Amino acid sequence: MNLRRTRAMARKELLHIARDPRSMAMALAVPVIMLLLYGFGLTLDVDHIPTLIYDFDRTPESREAIARFQGSRYFQVLGTVNDYAAIERAIDRDRCLLGVVIQHDFARNLEAGRQAQVQLILDGSDSNTASIAQGYADALLRSYAAEIRSSALMRKGGAKLEIPIDNRLRALYNTELKSRNYIVPGLISVILMIIAALITSLTIAREWEMGTMEHLLATPLRPAELVLGKLAAFFTIGFADMLIAIGVGIFVFRVPMRGNMLLLVISSCIFLFGALCWGILISALTRSQLVAYQLGLLTSFLPAFLLSGFVYSIENMPVAIQAITYIVPSRYFVTILKGVFLKGVGIDVLWGELVFLFVFASAVFFITTRKLRQKVA
């Protein structure tokens, strides 16, 4: 391989990119736009749940239970109603997610040690949010019921009611339990995969459509030199996108950076190189920019978004889909990003993911050069 020819190819691609400032601006602006849209718009936090209360009991104890809901950040009590129909109408109109119905003799049953009934009416159209809301309401009511029974026993001269389990929560790494800290690092993987695959998937296809590929093939350029020359130019843009995405995550969204920045940059460069090679491979397989763009979008955005564990837990997927995720490079890069950002772990933990990314990048580069050699032949 001749370094001079590779450098000339890289210079040619950089000049081509510089002559299209709109595409350059889009390539650099897209990471910021995606991070801002997804970072601020996409959240997995469930709080301020719209709630209506129907109080049958109307006792000081039931009013105290209502006050507990009003004082919790997880619930937004819209008011009280006097029948079930009002709750159902509010749920039908998407004004309410949860209805809490406090039954007759709520206070009397609690003080007597009997089971007190509280009915929870949930909008199950969003099953995940409904399950979380049910868990919050159950925990609040159980805690309040334990306090009422303890007070009743003490008034009767009995011993204080001791709860047999002292449950104390300690959250590691993401101590504030903010979904933004979980989402933003994964977004960096999605953005790099999309940008890298899409901007390179058009490059060789465009050469074929414009008729300049024949001129390139008539030069002494070898396939590896052609690929590396094009990669060098687009790697510069991708590296800038990577720095922009990391900077926005740290300084705009305040995602904690607990790990080694050098490890993050090296792993990002390996992933970026593999993604760029994948885009050039797509471009080499097709001679149409339209087909290359569609195939690049299909093989970059969807796997990176759906099968990487960025939002959806891989452990909850069907076994067949879980098996497919093992060949998705974004899965391993997301693990590295979250490990470095949130956990502060190093290469002793993440070496397996790094090895996979390196093997993926090397394999795709090798296949791409072989494919271009076939095109030359």
Three-state helix/strand/coil letters over 264-318: HHHHHHHHHHHHHHHHHHHHHHCCCHHHHHHHHHHHHHHHHHHCCCCCCCHHHCC
- The string of pLDDT tens digits covering residues 65-100 is 899 999 888 899 999 998 889 999 998 888 999 999
- In angstroms, how far is the first alpha carbon of the chain from the final one? 18
Range with lowest mean pLDDT among 122-136, 173-187, 263-277, 321-335: 173-187
Rounded Cα distance, 186 and 209, in Å: 36
Rounded Cα distance, 352 and 331, in Å: 12
Rounded to 5 degrees, what are φ and ψ at 259? -100, -165
Query: Among residues of the chain, what percentage have pLDDT more than 70?
Result: 90
Q: Taking the complete model, does pTM exceed 0.75, yes or no?
A: yes
Pairing status of strand 75-81 against strand 118-122: unpaired
The full set of domain ranges for the chain reads 3-43+178-376, 49-155
Rounded Cα distance, 202 and 354, in Å: 28
Which residue has better confidence, 204 or 247?
A: 247
Average pLDDT, the chain: 82
Give the residue carrying structure tokens 């050069």: 369
Q: Are 98 and 76 in contact (CB under 8 A)?
A: no
Q: Are 64 and 56 in contact (CB under 8 A)?
A: no
The secondary structure of residue 120, as a DSSP letter, is E
Strand partners, 121: 99
Strand partners, 80: 53
Is residue 165 scored above 60 in pLDDT?
A: no
Rounded to 5 degrees, what are φ and ψ at 286? -120, 150
Instruction: Supply the angle between the helices 261-285 and 179-201 in degrees, to the nearest 10.
Output: 40
Which superfamily does CATH assign the domain made up of 49-155 to?
Answer: abc type-2 transporter like domain (3.40.1710.10)
Which residue has better confidence, 24 or 342?
A: 342
- The string of pLDDT tens digits covering residues 343-352 is 888 899 999 9
Range with lowest mean pLDDT among 125-129, 246-250, 269-273, 320-324: 125-129
pLDDT band at residue 266 under the 50/70/90 scheme: very high
- The string of pLDDT tens digits covering residues 298-314 is 888 888 888 888 877 88
Q: What is the pLDDT of residue 156?
A: 61
What is the residue type of 286? T
Task: Enumerate residues 6+ apart whose C-beta is below 8 A from 138.
Answer: 120
Q: Are 184 and 253 in contact (CB under 8 A)?
A: yes
Q: What is the pLDDT of residue 356?
A: 95
